[in-house]
Amino acid sequence: MQVATFLAYLLAAALFIVGIRRLRKPETARSGNTIAGVGMAIALITTLFVIEFESLLLIGIATLLGAVLGAVSAQRVPMTAMPQMVAAYNGVGGGAAALIALSEFYHLQTGGEENIVASITVPLTILIGTVSFMGSIVAFLKLQELAFSGSVVFPLQQVINAVLFVGILVLAANAILDGSILPFLSPVASVVGILAASALLGVLLVIPIGGADMPIVISLLNAFTGIAAAASGFVLNNYILIIGGIIVGASGTILTRQMSSALGRPLRKIIFAGLAATGTGPSGGGDEDREVNDASPEEAGGYLADDAQKVVIVPGYGLAVAQAQSPLHDLMETLESQGKEVLFGIHPVAGRMPGHMNVLLTEAGVPYEKLYDLEDINPEFEDTDAVIIVGANDVVNPAANDPDQDTPISGMPILEVEKAERVIFVKRSLSPGFAGVDNPLFYDTDKTMMVFSDAKAGLQQINEAVKNG
**Mean predicted confidence (pLDDT) in 395-416:** 83
User: What pLDDT, on a 0 to 100 scale, did the predictor assign at position 387?
Assistant: 96
Quote the CA–CA distance of 194 and 168 in Å, as a whole number.
5
Quote the CA–CA distance of 360 and 390 in Å, as a whole number.
14
User: What pLDDT, on a 0 to 100 scale, did the predictor assign at position 112?
Assistant: 62
Angle of helix 297-307 relative to helix 455-468, nearest 10 degrees, comes to 50
Quote the CA–CA distance of 112 and 110 in Å, as a whole number.
6
**Strand 423-427 vs strand 386-390: parallel, antiparallel, or unpaired?**
parallel
Q: What is the pLDDT of residues 420-449, one digit of tens each?
A: 999 999 998 888 876 678 899 999 989 999
Per-residue confidence at 277, pLDDT binned at 50, 70, 90? Answer: very low
Per-residue confidence at 287, pLDDT binned at 50, 70, 90? Answer: low
**Mean predicted confidence (pLDDT) in 378-393:** 94
CB 288 within 8 A of CB 430: yes
Q: What is the pLDDT of residues 196-251, one digit of tens each?
A: 999 999 999 998 887 667 778 888 898 999 999 999 888 887 888 888 899 889 98
Q: Which residues contact 296 (CB under 8 A, 6 or more apart)?
A: 451
Per-residue confidence at 283, pLDDT binned at 50, 70, 90? Answer: very low
pTM: 0.76
Would you list the domain boundaries of the chain? 1-76, 79-277, 297-468
Number of residues that this document lists for the chain:
469
**Mean predicted confidence (pLDDT) in 70-76:** 84
Per-residue confidence at 5, pLDDT binned at 50, 70, 90? Answer: confident
Q: Which residues contact 354 (CB under 8 A, 6 or more apart)?
A: 215, 255, 258, 259, 262, 348
Q: Which residues contact 369 (CB under 8 A, 6 or more apart)?
A: none
Nearest CA to 195 among 85, 105, 62? Answer: 105
- Report the helix count and the strand count for the chain, using DSSP H and E: 16, 6
User: What pLDDT, on a 0 to 100 scale, did the predictor assign at position 257?
Assistant: 84
**Strand 448-452 vs strand 341-346: parallel, antiparallel, or unpaired?**
unpaired
> Computed over its alpha carbons, how large is the radius of gyration of the chain?
25
Q: Is the pLDDT of residue 276 over 50?
A: no
Nearest CA to 425 among 465, 384, 386, 377? Answer: 386
Q: Is the pLDDT of residue 288 over 80?
A: no
User: What pLDDT, on a 0 to 100 scale, did the predictor assign at position 275?
Assistant: 42
Q: What is the pLDDT of residues 139-179, one digit of tens each?
A: 888 888 788 877 788 888 889 999 999 999 999 999 888 88
User: What pLDDT, on a 0 to 100 scale, did the predictor assign at position 12?
Assistant: 92
Q: What is the pLDDT of residues 311-329, one digit of tens each?
A: 999 998 888 888 899 999 9
Per-residue confidence at 1, pLDDT binned at 50, 70, 90? Answer: low
Fold of the 297-468 domain: Rossmann fold (3.40.50)
User: What pLDDT, on a 0 to 100 scale, did the predictor assign at position 350?
Assistant: 78
Quote the CA–CA distance of 300 and 298 in Å, as a whole number.
5
Active site residue 406: no
Q: How many angstroms from the chain centroid is the CA of residue 258?
A: 12
Q: Which residues contact 85 (CB under 8 A, 6 or more apart)?
A: 73, 74, 77
Quote the CA–CA distance of 44 and 49 in Å, as a whole number.
9
Marked catalytic residue, from 213, 330, 394, 438: 394
Residue 266 is classified by DSSP as -
User: What pLDDT, on a 0 to 100 scale, did the predictor assign at position 81?
Assistant: 75
Q: What is the pLDDT of residues 29-68, one digit of tens each?
A: 889 999 999 999 998 888 888 777 777 788 888 888 988 9
Quote the CA–CA distance of 456 and 460 in Å, as a whole number.
6
Q: Is the pLDDT of residue 190 over 60?
A: yes
Quote the CA–CA distance of 455 and 457 in Å, as a whole number.
6
User: What pLDDT, on a 0 to 100 scale, did the predictor assign at position 212?
Assistant: 64
Nearest CA to 443 among 312, 308, 286? Answer: 286
Strand arrangement, sheet containing 341-346:
371-373, 341-346, 310-315, 386-390, 423-427, 448-452
Quote the CA–CA distance of 55 and 425 in Å, as a whole number.
59
Quote the CA–CA distance of 271 and 269 in Å, as a whole number.
6
